[in-house]
Amino acid sequence: MKKIFTFIISGIIMINLTSCEPNMDYLNPDTDVIQSYYNTQEHLVYAVNGIYGIMQGLNMWGRDMPYILNARSDEGIFTFKASAGDPTVVQLAGYTNGAEHAAVGSAFGDFYTIQYTANVALERLTENQGNAFDLNKPEDKALYNRLLGEAYFLRGFSRFYLTFFFGDEIPDRDYSVTSSDYYAMPAEKGVIYQRMVEDFKQAEDLLPLRSEIYAAASNIGRATKGAAQAMLAKVYMGRPILDGSASAGSAEWDEAKKVLWKIIESDEYGLVNNYRDNASEDNENNRESLFEIQFTRSADAPFNVPIDFVGGGQNTWRQVCMTVPDPIGWWNLMPSLSLYNEFERDANGTIIDARAFQGLWIPNGAKFRKSGVWVDYNQLIATEGDERVTWRGKYLGTRKNGADYDGFDMMRGGANDRIIRYSDVLLMYAECCLETGDEPTALTYINKVRSRANNQMTNPTAADAHMFYATGQGTLPTGENLIAAAPVLGEVKDGSGTTVIPGLQINTVRRLLKHEYSVELFMEGWRFFNLMRWYNNPTDPDKNIILNSLNDKFKMQIEQTNIAGSIPFDYNKHLRLPIPTNELQTNPNMHGNSAN
């Protein structure tokens, strides 16, 4: 059963614009203000709950963040639907977005709202106004520490994404903004990195284990100790792209390895049997999940938009935006051919990796219930005689985070966005083992993830009942055997046989790991981050070819859609998203970054 705790934002208006000064200042003496409101445990719980609610919004994971995270990688291609109706997706996927980009500007502001709201919660909790918590009582102290830990985690979370997207010469506060501080100066290089490390360390110390927090159904979905540890590991591993004072090769592998091992040895997490359960409304917040953005299909809400609009419920638009192909969904972003060709095949060219079918809408895969009838993928694309029949095999869909049937408002999606999964933890640990000279252990942990792909699906629905993984075990080889076979995966050729994307021969453990990251975590928002990390690792023998699939993505865009307009990826310009125009125009202390 889906569990989601209620997000309540108090009557206090919590707005953070990094620089925008309001024209008018109204104070209603009959309403609560920050200084007087947070004087009970209930109010302080609300202070933390409100931070989570921001992440559900239309500008966050309710719609825009899945585009921002996935479109910029080589896994996402814009569709003809986006070209005709959503230029923001076209620009993200084609590296043509400028500082006026609406989704980027909105995300910039909302992450600062998260930072501000977390700072308010930390200040009010630290003050403990009216002795709302008797810190001599164990139960009060436990709740107090947990709330502090959640606020530290969520502030670190906002710092992580702000820095990853925009670089670290941006405003950063560890206090709530006041009217005298609207025009914030950019932080010094390296400062935000150290602050986010400290945030996640504080969260790790204060937050209970998952089993303790989840013991109460009303708390399922909150940040846990394991979530803080996983994000801390990502920060250590991503230091070259998160710390402006650091350089390529500065990843803190030993520190990341230590914190990842804490997660593994805690025995709080494990891999679920069905890979599909990691991206559907079924079995959410399961044993494999470390942190999810919570959604629920709010069928009775007056509006089908996320909760940044009053009455919008807690729906997500990811389903209508990125999953089922046209004409059922909006389908603005689709999986790329290089991702499709990354999955292993047998001698007859048939995909043998169950994850492809459980996470994608592709030929010879799962069925979709359209108008009450279960149909093959090809029938979703076009019926016989339709001109789009010729695009079968190139028009693909993302099954993750969507339902397997129509007949309801597709804008009322309810699937949680899984931000961190245990399989990612195992792969990160394998990477740390590689970087610290322990290749055998790295291979062991890669195989732990691979072996789950061979599981027989339990309780398959009609969507999967005809598939090989619903009737028996899979035949995906071990990592050792794949390396021995040394196939080239991810290659894309055009109709004349000319290579568009070269792919990668899987003949080393390091290349096996890259492949496994791709086929396990595809369209979950980490591919671009991982590519940038690997490019900034001087010990990686593939460093000079890591970005080939991004550099030539514009060619794959044409091959897959026959739509031009994308440009080659330029690391120096496209590593970052540009500082939004509104920020530059409003804040006289702010300057652009390498993307402006």
DSSP-assigned letters across all residues of 188-206: PTTHHHHHHHHHHHHHHHH
> Backbone phi, then psi, for 412, in 5-degree steps?
-105, 60
pLDDT score, position 56 = 94
The CA dihedral of 289, 3, 110, 168, to the nearest 10 degrees, is -20
- What digits encode the pLDDT tens for the residues 43-53? 999 999 999 99
pLDDT score, position 327 = 81
Closest CA to 179 of 49, 23, 326: 23
The residues near 485 (Cβ < 8 Å, ≥ 6 apart) are 477, 506
Is residue 300 predicted with pLDDT exceeding 50? yes
Written as six digits, the tokens of 131 are: 């002795």
Q: Provide the residue type at 384 as one letter.
A: E
Are 547 and 535 in contact by the 8 Å Cβ rule? The answer is: yes
Q: What is the mean pLDDT of residues 408-437?
A: 96
Are 139 and 47 in contact by the 8 Å Cβ rule? The answer is: no
Is residue 466 predicted with pLDDT exceeding 70? yes
- Count the residues in the chain: 596
Percent of the chain with pLDDT over 90: 84
Is residue 19 predicted with pLDDT exceeding 50? no
Determine the Cα angle at 360 with ends 357 and 366, to 5°. Answer: 45
- What digits encode the pLDDT tens for the residues 118-138? 999 999 999 998 899 999 999
487: preceding bond cis by omega (within 30 degrees): no
Q: How far apart are CA 557 and CA 235, in angstroms?
A: 32
Closest CA to 231 of 435, 53, 420: 420
The domain spans of the chain are 1-24+31-596
The CA dihedral of 358, 467, 556, 569, to the nearest 10 degrees, is 20
The residues near 37 (Cβ < 8 Å, ≥ 6 apart) are 10, 11, 12, 43
- What digits encode the pLDDT tens for the residues 492-542? 999 899 999 999 999 999 999 999 999 999 999 999 999 999 999 999 999
Domain 1-24+31-596 has CATH 1.10.1740.10: no
pLDDT score, position 20 = 41
Is residue 221 predicted with pLDDT exceeding 80? yes
